[in-house]
């Protein structure tokens, strides 16, 4: 078989053996020169650069107070972040590298590192993702979007009100589902509405602007909604996990606690975002130009095509609702303990998340005999890469703390001791957002900046949450470039918006977000998180 590669089919059947019994015939390699050329690529250079930079740091880095353990930790950080930033090795594989790098460099034992990859926060993510897949499988998100659009459409059509309905639906869905999943599910709903307008030159200016507004609305309502709950985005989960890792004796950040602060913050940012979007893309008098293509009759027809909610859909909604209720009532107040008090603090948010997800594999869907609401084949889309990235973040936070590298960072930041908080908090937010915008993902940014911010807070004699919360939320303010976050890519790929549109909305949104967080943290945050009290 000259010039042809033999492909070995991979079956989804779990009974199929992973390796075939026979010896597969592999094609001969090409010439020596072609082999050399194929290996000397930029990506392969980055692969080698990671360990080379690590070796250089471990061998030659000399700083005051830098011990062997902290120097090795710094070298490993350089290695891991070089691979993360360049994606020389797939991010999920890079996220597993602490499992072998930490033991080999004497930073932590293998069991200690592996523990970070499966804890209550990871369990919370797994359960939430399984529930999100069930929502997607039964088209519950589409039904919700059509109902809200019908509710806000108005007669005659009111474009700002309709835009509010679409954005608010996305905001609400993103509160309970990961940002990427929300964007992927809601964008087809948005483009389905916009496809009713004529294409090309026959589309009016008002219609073109409204199309841009809808896509921008879904794109940015996704991360804004995700900020408001722990399950909305991986960044919040990284923050909670690192807080627990660094301060195991402190009060944990529960689902309820985070929502008390983040939901009002997200609603303020969302309202300003909607106003700016309407001012720029929904001019007065645009209603008549849109109403001929957006009528309630067509929307009702699409909703009717979905049919009434069956037992399966109702049950998934019920399970999701019970989960939200359990999250919010686990710890209520100091005077009114939630149901978590019954278990002496042994049950976490991940406990109920996995428990409710498990019910989906037990309850029949009443569509086919013996078939449950969910089966493992439907879970093939679980984002294991994000889960591994979360584990890597927790492992790195633990390593930075145990190796002594955290103390060295604190000594290097003494100059910030006299800086006022209202100057430092916006700078922290802006720095995190720019790193996400220009360099790496918001999850990786959060993993990088939180250990540093903890040391800055210690240097300034501040409660650590006073800085790490603005830093983590700021990492989600990546609104200006399509490559900043996957949800931005989803919106940009529709073809309705371009980079100037994203900058026109993203820049004021970034400024407003930084201002809101900087003002709410010393006020509402002080009350919710107790940042005015000394650490225990």
The ranges assigned to domains in the chain are 45-116, 120-529
Eight-state DSSP code of residue 130: H
173 burial (CB, 10 Å; 0-12 / 13-18 / 19+) is buried
The per-residue pLDDT for 413 is 59
Question: Which residues is 364 bridged to in the sheet?
Answer: 372
- Are the beta carbons of 55 and 104 closer than 8 angstroms? no
pLDDT band at 513 (very low <50, low <70, confident <90, very high): very high
Q: What is the pLDDT of residues 454-482, one digit of tens each?
A: 888 887 888 889 899 999 999 889 888 77
For the question of whether the overall pTM of this predicted structure is more than 0.75, the answer is no
Question: What average pLDDT does this structure show over 429-452?
Answer: 78
Model confidence at 18: pLDDT above 50: no
Number of H helices, E strands in the chain: 25, 0
Q: Please choose, from the candidates 429, 421, 420, 463, the residue with its C-alpha nearest in 3D space to the C-alpha of residue 449.
A: 429
Query: For the chain, how are helix, strand and coil distributed in percent, rounded to 5?
Result: 70, 0, 30
The per-residue pLDDT for 88 is 86
The per-residue pLDDT for 14 is 47
The per-residue pLDDT for 174 is 87
Q: What is the pLDDT of residues 152-206, one digit of tens each?
A: 776 777 888 888 988 998 998 888 877 777 787 777 778 777 777 777 776 778 7
The per-residue pLDDT for 516 is 93
Model confidence at 9: pLDDT above 50: no
Share of the chain above pLDDT 70, in %: 84
Phi, psi for 533 (deg, rounded to 5): -100, 150
- Are the beta carbons of 72 and 105 closer than 8 angstroms? yes
Q: In this structure, how many other beta carbons lie within 10 angstroms of the beta carbon of residue 104?
A: 10
Model confidence at 262: pLDDT above 90: yes
Question: What average pLDDT does this structure show over 76-101?
Answer: 87
Q: Rounded distance, CA 172 to CA 182, Å?
A: 10
The per-residue pLDDT for 4 is 43
Model confidence at 424: pLDDT above 50: yes
Model confidence at 8: pLDDT above 60: no
pLDDT band at 225 (very low <50, low <70, confident <90, very high): very high
């Amino acid at each position: 078989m000259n010039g042809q590669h033999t492909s070995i089919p991979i079956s989804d059947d779990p009974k199929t053996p992973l390796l075939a019994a026979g010896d597969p015939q592999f094609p001969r390699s090409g010439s020596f020169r072609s082999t050399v050329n194929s290996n000397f690529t930029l990506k392969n250079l980055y692969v080698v650069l990671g360990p080379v930079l690590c070796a250089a740091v471990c061998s030659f880095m000399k700083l005051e107070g830098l011990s062997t353990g902290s120097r090795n930790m710094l070298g490993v950080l350089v290695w891991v972040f070089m691979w993360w930033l360049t994606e020389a090795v797939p991010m999920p594989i890079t996220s597993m590298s602490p499992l072998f790098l930490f033991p080999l460099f004497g930073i932590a034992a293998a069991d200690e590192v592996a523990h970070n990859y499966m804890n209550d926060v990871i369990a919370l993510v797994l359960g939430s993702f399984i529930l999100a897949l069930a929502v997607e499988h039964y088209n519950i998100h589409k039904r919700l979007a059509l109902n809200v659009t019908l509710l806000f459409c108005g007669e005659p059509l009111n474009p700002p009100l309709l835009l509010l309905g679409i954005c608010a639906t996305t905001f609400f869905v993103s509160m309970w589902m990961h940002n990427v999943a929300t964007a992927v599910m809601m964008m087809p709903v948005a483009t389905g509405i916009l496809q009713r307008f004529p294409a090309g030159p026959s589309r009016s200016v008002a219609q073109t602007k409204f199309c841009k507004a809808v896509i921008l609305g879904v794109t940015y309502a996704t991360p804004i909604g995700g900020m408001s709950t722990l399950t909305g985005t991986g960044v919040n989960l990284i923050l909670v996990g690192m807080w627990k890792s660094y301060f195991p004796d402190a009060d944990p950040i529960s689902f309820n606690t985070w929502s008390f602060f983040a939901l009002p913050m997200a609603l303020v940012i969302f309202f300003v975002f909607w106003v700016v979007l309407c001012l720029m893309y929904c001019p007065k008098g645009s209603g008549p130009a849109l109403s001929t293509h957006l009528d309630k009759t067509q929307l009702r027809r699409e909703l009717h095509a979905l049919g009434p909610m069956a037992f399966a859909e109702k049950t998934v909604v019920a399970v999701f609702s019970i989960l939200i209720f359990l999250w919010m009532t686990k710890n209520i107040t100091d005077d009114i303990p939630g149901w978590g008090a019954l278990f002496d603090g042994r049950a976490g948010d991940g406990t109920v998340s996995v428990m409710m997800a498990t019910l989906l594999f037990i309850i029949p869907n009443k569509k086919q005999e013996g078939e449950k609401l969910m089966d493992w084949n439907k879970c093939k889309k679980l984002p294991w890469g994000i889960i591994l990235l979360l584990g890597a973040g927790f492992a790195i936070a633990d390593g930075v703390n145990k190796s002594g590298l955290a103390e060295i960072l604190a000594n290097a930041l003494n100059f910030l001791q006299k800086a006022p908080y209202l100057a430092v908090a916006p700078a922290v937010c802006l720095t995190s957002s720019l790193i996400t915008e220009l360099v790496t993902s918001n999850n990786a940014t959060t993993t990088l900046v939180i250990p540093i911010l903890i040391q800055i807070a210690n240097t300034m004699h501040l409660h650590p949450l006073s800085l790490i919360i603005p830093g983590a939320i700021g990492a989600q303010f990546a609104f200006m470039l399509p490559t900043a976050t996957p949800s931005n890519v989803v919106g940009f790929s529709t073809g309705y918006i371009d980079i100037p549109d994203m900058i026109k909305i993203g820049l004021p949104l970034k400024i407003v977000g930084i201002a809101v967080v900087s003002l709410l943290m010393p006020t509402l945050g002080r009350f919710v998180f107790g940042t005015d009290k000394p650490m225990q």
